[in-house]
């Protein structure tokens, strides 16, 4: 059976492997089709495609767009996008600009709570185009302010904590529209991770579908097996396609490996069936 992993990250966002190393690892793990979906950018795709040329692996050009929906941040994957599409490129550029400003604010807030040098410190771990919370987390651990990345996320980088700045990302409609304009398919990433009530999640899915969304991630890394059933039912109820992706970021997270997630359950329509 073909192994699809349609969600992962490289050093072009907050992953810790270069696109080349990521491809090598995916091949080792027996992945056949890998979508590279870095946060708010497509800079890693060309390298990944190049690295996959003499391997059995196919690379799907993708992106994971940060979206502000009411008081929530949600992530929308774009699969099979044309990374040179002007609308998508321009949209991602604006998000990157916000990301840059947010990073400066995060550093200011940390400074006020007695932690200096966070901007420069976090930048050491980041690509020049994307500075995110994971890079700040790596700095805070390295500088001895926290014992692990997980610890940082609990104590610093979430709502009401010193390193948190609330998001002003793209709108749901913008993200879905850019992806469609770039010839891709929009997929709601890890729907179970938003801690929304069932009613709210359904409202998100309904709106997403109205804007032209194509699918939801039914199987994702770090997910409870029970959630697969719930998400499969939601996909079918809303007549949406089902996707499968590990959300792999780093070999340090030994509980999430490329391709090593459950199969899509029977009864859903895999998004790759439309390819």
Judged by the rule CB under 6 A, the positions of this chain that interact with ligand AMP are: 14, 39, 66, 132-134, 149-150, 153, 249
Query: Which residue's C-beta sits nearest to ligand AMP?
Result: 132
Residue 66's binding partner out of Mn ion, ligand AMP, none, with CB under 5 to 8 Å set by partner kind: ligand AMP
Tokens 């610093």 belong to which residue? Answer: 156
Minimum CB–partner distance for residue 106 and ligand AMP (Å): 9
Distance CA 132, CA 142 (A): 16
Residue 150's binding partner out of Mn ion, ligand AMP, none, with CB under 5 to 8 Å set by partner kind: ligand AMP
Closest to ligand AMP by CB, 52 or 127: 127
Take residue 133 and report the two structure tokens written for it: 């919370």
Closest to ligand AMP by CB, 83 or 133: 133
42 and 81 in contact (C-beta within 8 Å)?
yes
Q: Is 166 exposed, middle or buried (0-12, 13-18, 19+ CB in 10 A)?
A: exposed
Distance CA 192, CA 27 (A): 28
Minimum CB–partner distance for residue 54 and ligand AMP (Å): 30
Minimum CB–partner distance for residue 249 and ligand AMP (Å): 5
The widest CA-to-CA distance across the chain, in whole angstroms, is: 54
Residues found in the chain: 275
Residue 153's binding partner out of Mn ion, ligand AMP, none, with CB under 5 to 8 Å set by partner kind: ligand AMP
Q: Is 200 exposed, middle or buried (0-12, 13-18, 19+ CB in 10 A)?
A: middle
How far does CA 240 lie from the centroid of its chain?
A: 19
Q: Which candidate, 95, 96, 93, 90, places its Cα nearest to that of 67?
A: 95
Residue 10's binding partner out of ligand AMP, Mn ion, none, with CB under 5 to 8 Å set by partner kind: none
Q: 165 to each of 94, 101, 120, how far by Cα in Å?
A: 17, 10, 18
Tokens 């990345």 belong to which residue? Answer: 149
Binding site for Mn ion (CB under 5 A): 14, 64, 75, 189, 247
Closest to ligand AMP by CB, 181 or 250: 250
Residue 25's binding partner out of ligand AMP, Mn ion, none, with CB under 5 to 8 Å set by partner kind: none
Minimum CB–partner distance for residue 132 and ligand AMP (Å): 3
Residue 133's binding partner out of Mn ion, ligand AMP, none, with CB under 5 to 8 Å set by partner kind: ligand AMP
Query: Which residue's C-beta sits nearest to Mn ion?
Result: 75
Closest to ligand AMP by CB, 66 or 223: 66
């Amino acid at each position: 059976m073909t192994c699809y992993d349609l969600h992962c990250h490289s050093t072009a966002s907050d992953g810790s492997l270069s696109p080349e190393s990521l491809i090598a690892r995916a091949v080792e793990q027996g992945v056949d089709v890998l979508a590279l979906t870095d946060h708010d950018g497509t800079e890693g795709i060309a390298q990944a495609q190049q690295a996959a040329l003499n391997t059995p692996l196919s690379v799907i050009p993708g992106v994971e767009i940060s979206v502000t929906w009411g008081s929530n941040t949600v992530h929308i994957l774009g699969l099979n996008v044309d990374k040179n599409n002007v609308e998508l490129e321009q949209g991602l550029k604006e998000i990157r600009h916000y990301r840059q400003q947010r990073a400066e604010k995060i550093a200011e807030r940390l400074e006020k709570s007695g932690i200096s040098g966070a901007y420069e410190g976090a930048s050491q771990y980041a690509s020049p185009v994307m500075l995110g919370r994971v890079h700040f987390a790596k700095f805070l651990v390295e500088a001895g302010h926290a014992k692990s990345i997980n610890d940082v996320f609990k104590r610093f980088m979430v709502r009401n904590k010193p390193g948190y700045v609330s998001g002003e990302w793209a709108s749901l409609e913008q993200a879905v529209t850019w992806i469609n304009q770039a010839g891709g398919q929009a997929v709601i990433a890890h729907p179970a991770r938003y801690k929304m009530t069932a009613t709210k999640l359904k409202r998100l899915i309904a709106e997403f579908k109205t804007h032209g969304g194509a699918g939801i991630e039914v199987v994702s890394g770090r997910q409870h097996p029970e959630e697969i059933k719930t998400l499969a039912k939601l996909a079918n109820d809303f007549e949406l396609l089902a996707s499968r992706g590990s959300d792999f970021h780093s070999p340090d997270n030994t509980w999430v490996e490329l391709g090593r997630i459950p199969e899509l359950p029977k009864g859903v329509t895999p998004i790759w069936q439309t390819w």
